[in-house]
Amino acid sequence: MKSARPVRRVAGTAATALLLAAGAVGALASPAVAKANSIAVGKVALGAGRPVVVTAELAYSCDPGSDVHLAATATGRSAKGHRPAVATGTLANKKLVCDARVHRARLVLHPQHGATFHRKDRVTVAAAVVTPRGAHYADASRTVTL
């Protein structure tokens, strides 16, 4: 009578190798798909209104079906001893086109209470593609003079 032990050992080794190969393919595929998340800050300008707002042109892309939003913050360079002026804005997921292509959006950044922006102010705009839990998929920043 022949032993079934060598046959089982070969079958077990083959199954293990198959699972390891499948895991490696899955690990390599995930980052490749996630590369569609990106953001870049374009033109930044002083907008109209009371209080004066800051507008930022953003170029973004996001993975198809992802639940992300765009968030941006403009921070003015302050004189020594003064608090910097800060303006923030978000663009909800329902207003984004998530198809892994690059799209453009204009984001209006509203100043916090008491913050003012003027022409010739030096401002740093930081933008991000953010998940609902607060994780950043992509970041970008740009410093300009208004």
What does the pLDDT read at residue 26? 47
Q: Is the pLDDT of residue 127 over 90?
A: yes
What does the pLDDT read at residue 47? 85
Q: Which residue has the higher pLDDT, 128 or 1?
A: 128
User: With bands split at pLDDT 50, 70 and 90, how would you rate the model's confidence at 112?
Assistant: very high
Residue range 57-83, pLDDT digits in tens: 999 999 998 899 999 999 997 666 678
Task: State the pTM of this model.
Answer: 0.71
Q: Which residue has the higher pLDDT, 80 or 21?
A: 80
The 3 state secondary structure assigned to the chain is CCCCHHHHHHHHHHHHHHHHHHHHHHHHHHHHHHHHCEEEEEEEEECCCCCCCEEEEEEEECCCCCCCEEEEEEEECCCCCCCCCEEEEEECHHHCCCCCCCEEEEEEEEECCCCCCCCCCEEEEEEEEECCCCCEEEEEEEEEEC
22: left (phi over 0), alpha (psi -120 to 50) or beta: alpha
The proportion of the chain whose per-residue pLDDT surpasses 70, expressed as a percent, equals 73
Residue range 24-54, pLDDT digits in tens: 444 444 444 456 899 999 999 998 777 889 9
* Whether the Cβ atoms of residue 138 and residue 122 lie closer than 8 Å to each other: no
Q: Is the pLDDT of residue 6 over 70?
A: no
Please give the distance of CA 79 from its chain centroid, rounded to a whole number.
31
